[in-house]
């Protein structure tokens, strides 16, 4: 979506005119030389043929006759391949084949936090940030398997510099600096209802992050794919920064991915209700897809099988594993599907005055990584325990808030302690276990002293 060439006023005008976008230069003569250079440099990055194609395209809707349940979700607790998968995943981690891709482009605005969402403190007792929680899991995996999985952090234009500063200040959270690579998500221009580019200043075209589907090209352009090739990483564990319970580099998940020769592997969690606003797994026109809740009618969402289970009850928590080969193939695509998001976009009117609309006035373009699932030559869906792996931090209060995430973390770690033979005397205690102390209940059982009791808030961390 980018062009890299020097433009002067005349060439820019010719280029824009070919695509009906010459209005972008309307205020050009009134700009300072620096402003003119900024605008020309931005125009040079635009792929206007792509913009024309994408604006004219429409995502094919999902019709009720196109969709059917996906019955092949693997239930690992009763699957005979479970031990073989675990061993295959652990072997891949020991061989250094696994890297973690952390999608962290969001700001903490909805949380009332001024900074990258990854810098938000969510540890129930320790106050550890989301970044620290994810980084310390990589350290713990390295301690167990002898190789620290590289951590690839994808930022956005809004938080890239702040994230780099945060990670540097934290001394990479103890990770070797050469195992951390931070790269930036791409941008796409915004347009009005007629497909015309919008400006929010006389020398600046409105741009917005191009969605997490842009991560494939961003990994290529930001050097992540090259780093993976250089370090022997061919399995990519994808997690989102706002889920502190994400099991990056999960050996069981990695193992199933490798045993099945999968290119795109997904985890699934049980929906809480038919109305929950999450995407679900289904077959659409014969291919596995993640269907957004907006695409599923109330009737289909509520249908159940003979045992009373929702037919479309396996939902997407945003936990994936890709082969590097698949990621490279998607980075090379020119036809990645994009969604047009109808938005209220501040912009300049024809008189050059800034308008802050109260109604949607144009479109931003976003691609989603999950939309590439039907293109994977092989894929799988692995069920996981929602309470053990999904505690999203999205809202300041209510559902999916810091309070609910901390409560879920406490509940999980309380269960670990009881499994390990410990007692939780204070039911109101907040409990947190650093992965460097224990990655799982089995490791906790080996480390916990006999007769261990929890009588108040507890943070078990590495010594």
Task: Give per-residue pLDDT as tens, 318-330.
Answer: 999 999 999 999 9
DSSP letter (8 states) at residue 374: G
Which two structure tokens, joined as six digits, stand for 320? 């994936």
Q: Is pLDDT above 50 for 169?
A: yes
Cα R_g (the chain), whole angstroms: 24
Residue 335 has pLDDT above 50, yes or no: yes
**pLDDT tens digits, 385-436:** 999 999 999 999 999 999 999 999 999 999 999 999 999 999 899 999 999 9
pLDDT on residue 386 = 96
Measured CA distances, 11 to 41, 168, 431 (Å): 12, 41, 63
Question: How, if at all, do strands 151-155 and 98-103 pair?
Answer: parallel
Mean pLDDT on 255-284: 96
State the pLDDT at residue 5.
Answer: 52
Asked whether 405 and 391 are in contact (CB, 8 A), the reply is yes
pLDDT at residue 334 tops 90:
no
Confidence of residue 173 (pLDDT cuts 50, 70, 90): very high
Instruction: Determine the length of the chain.
Output: 463
Average pLDDT over residues 14-32: 95
pLDDT-based confidence at 59, cuts 50/70/90?
A: confident
H/E element holding 382? Answer: strand 379-383
The 10s digit of each residue's pLDDT in 292-302 is 888 888 999 99
Angle between helices 9-18 and 33-45 (to 10 degrees): 40
Task: In whole angstroms, give the CA distance from residue 138 to residue 179.
Answer: 10
Percentages helix, strand, coil for the chain (3-state, rounded to 5) are 40, 20, 40
The pLDDT of 203-225, averaged and rounded, is: 93
Closest CA to 202 of 329, 46, 354: 354
The Cα 450–Cα 440 span in angstroms is: 18
Q: What is the helix (H) or strand (E) element at residue 379, kind and residue range?
A: strand 379-383
| Confidence at 346, pLDDT banded by 50, 70, 90 | very high
d(CA 86, CA 222): 32
pLDDT of residue 1 exceeding 70, the answer is no
Handedness of CA 418, 316, 383, 219 (dihedral sign): negative
DSSP 110: G
463 pLDDT above the threshold of 70: no
Burial 169-207 (b: 16+ CB within 10 A, else e): eeebbebeeebbbbbbbbbbbbbeeebebbbbbbbebbb
Residue 249 backbone phi and psi in degrees, to 5: 60, 30
Which one, of 284, 308, 306, lies nearest residue 295 by Cα? 284
User: Judging by beta carbons within 10 Å of its beta carbon (0-12, 13-18, 19+), is residue 268 exposed, middle or buried?
Assistant: buried
Q: Is residue 439's pLDDT more than 50?
A: yes
pLDDT for position 295:
86
| Residue 280, φ and ψ in degrees, nearest 5 | -130, 160
Query: DSSP string spanning 319-366?
Result: -EEEEHHHHHHHHT-S----EEEEE---EE-TTS-EE--SS--EEEEE
Number of C-beta neighbours around residue 451 at 10 A: 8
Who has greater pLDDT, 381 or 209?
381
Predicted confidence at residue 211, as pLDDT, reads 83
CB-count burial class (<10 Å; 0-12, 13-18, 19+) for 385: middle
Residue range 222-229: mean pLDDT, rounded:
98
User: For residues 234 and 323, is the Cβ–Cβ distance under 8 A?
Assistant: yes
- Give pLDDT, residue 12: 94
Q: State the virtual CA torsion across 229, 230, 236, 242 in degrees, nearest 10.
A: -130
Q: What is the mean pLDDT of the chain?
A: 94
pLDDT, tens only, 9-19: 999 999 999 99
What end-to-end distance do the CA atoms of the chain give, in Å?
Answer: 48
CA distance linking residue 260 with residue 258, whole number of Å: 5
- Region 260-267: mean pLDDT is 98
State the DSSP code for 445: H
Q: Which two tokens stand for residue 443?
A: 């490791």
d(Cα 159, Cα 108) in Å, to the nearest integer? Answer: 10
- Look at residue 266 and tell me whether its pLDDT is greater than 80: yes
Higher pLDDT, 402 or 214: 402
């Amino acid at each position: 979506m980018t062009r890299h060439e020097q433009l002067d006023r005349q060439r820019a005008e010719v280029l824009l005119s070919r695509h009906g976008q010459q209005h972008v230069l309307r205020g050009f003569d009134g700009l300072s030389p620096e402003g003119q250079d900024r605008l020309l440099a931005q125009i040079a990055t635009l792929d206007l043929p792509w913009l024309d194609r994408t604006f004219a395209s429409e995502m094919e809707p999902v019709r009720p006759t196109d969709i059917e349940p996906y019955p092949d979700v693997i239930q690992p607790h009763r699957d005979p391949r479970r031990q073989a998968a675990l061993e295959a995943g652990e072997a891949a981690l020991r061989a250094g084949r696994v890297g973690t891709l952390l999608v962290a482009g969001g700001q903490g605005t909805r949380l009332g936090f001024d900074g990258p969402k990854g810098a938000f403190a969510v540890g129930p007792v320790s106050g550890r940030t989301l970044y620290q929680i994810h980084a310390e899991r990589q350290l713990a995996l390295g301690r167990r398997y002898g190789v620290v999985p590289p951590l690839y952090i994808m930022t956005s234009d809004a938080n890239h510099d702040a994230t780099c500063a945060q990670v540097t200040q934290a001394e990479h959270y103890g990770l070797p600096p050469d195992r951390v690579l931070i790269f930036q998500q791409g941008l796409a221009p915004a347009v009005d209802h007629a497909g015309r580019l919008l400006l929010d200043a006389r020398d600046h075209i409105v741009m917005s992050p191009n969605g997490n589907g842009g991560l494939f090209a961003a990994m290529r352009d930001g050097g992540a794919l090259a780093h993976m090739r250089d370090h022997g990483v061919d399995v990519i564990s994808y997690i989102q920064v706002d889920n502190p319970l994400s099991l990056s580099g999960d050996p069981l998940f990695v193992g199933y991915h490798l045993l099945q020769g999968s290119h795109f592997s997904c985890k699934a969690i049980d929906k809480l209700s038919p109305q929950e606003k999450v995407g679900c797994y289904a077959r659409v026109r014969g291919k596995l897809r993640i269907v957004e809740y907006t695409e599923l009618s109330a009737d289909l969402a509520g249908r159940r099988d003979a045992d009373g289970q929702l037919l479309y009850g396996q939902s997407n928590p945003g936990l994936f594993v890709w082969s590097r080969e698949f990621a490279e193939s998607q980075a090379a695509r020119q036809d990645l599907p994009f969604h047009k998001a109808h938005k209220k976009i501040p912009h300049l009117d024809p008189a050059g005055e800034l308008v802050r609309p109260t109604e949607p006035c144009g479109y931003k373009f976003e691609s989603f990584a999950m939309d590439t699932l039907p293109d994977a030559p092989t894929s799988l869906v692995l069920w996981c325990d929602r309470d053990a792996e999904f505690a999203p931090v999205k809202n300041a209060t209510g559902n999916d808030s810091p309070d609910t995430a901390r409560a879920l973390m406490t509940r999980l770690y309380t269960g670990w302690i009881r499994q390990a033979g410990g007692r939780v005397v204070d039911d109101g205690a907040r409990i947190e276990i650093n992965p460097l102390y224990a990655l799982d209940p089995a490791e906790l059982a080996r480390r916990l002293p006999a007769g261990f009791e929890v009588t108040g808030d507890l943070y078990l961390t590495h010594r």
